[in-house]
Amino acid sequence: MKSLLLGTCFSLIFSFSFAQALKKVTKKTKIDACTLVEKYQVLKSDSEVKHGDYSAQILTYTEKGQYNLGKQSGIWEFSRNTEVHQKFDFSTGKFLSDQPSKFIKKIILQDNNDKPGKEIEAKNFYLGGDPKMLTIVKKCLKYPREAMENNVMGEALLSATLTKEGEIINEKAESQLGFGLEEEWLRVFKLIPPTWVPIMVNGKPVDAKLYFRFKFTLVTI
């Protein structure tokens, strides 16, 4: 009984001491016309290491999850207007629930020589999904004045490489609408926080080329 009590006391003291070693942080990051508000905890011994509960918000978009000594862990939930639209399990690296992306037009795998390969289903590989992207796009995108004056509309298309490490690189315009539409779509796309998930083929991450679209439309009143 004595050893059991000692073990319990030691466990409680250790847990209390570890909890005391954390510091709460609220961080605000300006993203053009939006503000990303993050709330999390870090180790007092190393302020770069997140540990425990994490939440982030951009206007009506929110995401919640856990960090374990600097690494995202467990199941994360992504919501807009309090409605959960996506869940991702970091322990398995898989989406538990998600919605198709309207931004992604097509995905083409890249071979080892960076040459185009097989086209695959245009699924979502972005943590936060369309609601997170749309929140930023709707708030930050500005219809170019020259395009408005010339009544230019249409689908602007850009491409980017999603690497096996989960990074987005080599963003460039693919369409030719002109009048600043491709440039504006590219500018706003680069504002989107890079929370991408690598594409897996046969259990291994691969490089892929993704094509992203946005339809510019003028409304006549």
Residue pLDDT, tens place only, 194-217: 999 999 988 899 999 999 999 999
Domain range for residue 53?
22-98
CATH number at residue 177: 3.30.1150
Residue pLDDT, tens place only, 111-136: 766 667 889 988 889 999 999 999 99
Cβ atoms of 102 and 108 within 8 Å: the answer is no
Domain boundary residue, one of 98, 121, 150: 98
- For residue 87, report the phi and psi dihedrals to the nearest 5 degrees: -135, 140
pLDDT band per the 50, 70, 90 thresholds, residue 91: very high
Question: Do 74 and 169 fall within a single domain?
Answer: no
Number of domains in the chain: 2
Question: Do 166 and 210 fall within a single domain?
Answer: yes
* Mean pLDDT score of the chain: 90
pTM: 0.86
Query: In 159-204, where does DSSP find H-type helix?
Result: 181-189
Residue 153 pLDDT greater than 60, yes or no: yes
Give the CA dihedral 169, 171, 174, 176, nearest 10 degrees.
-170
Question: Do 85 and 117 fall within a single domain?
Answer: no
Question: Do 115 and 194 fall within a single domain?
Answer: yes
Domain boundary residue, one of 71, 98, 125: 98
Question: Do 94 and 108 fall within a single domain?
Answer: no
Question: Do 54 and 130 fall within a single domain?
Answer: no
Instruction: Tell me if 4 is assigned to some domain.
Output: no
Question: Do 94 and 143 fall within a single domain?
Answer: no
**Residues in the chain, overall count:** 221
SS3 6: helix
Question: Do 143 and 77 fall within a single domain?
Answer: no
Instruction: Tell me if 17 is assigned to some domain.
Output: no
In single-letter form, the type of residue at position 4 comes to L
Helix and strand numbers, DSSP H then E, in the chain: 4, 14
Cβ atoms of 76 and 64 within 8 Å: the answer is yes
Token pair belonging to 13? 């003291």
Residue 16 pLDDT greater than 50, yes or no: no
Name residues whose C-beta falls within 8 Å of residue 193's C-beta, 6 or more positions apart in sequence: 31, 36, 128, 132
**Predicted pLDDT of residue 19:** 52
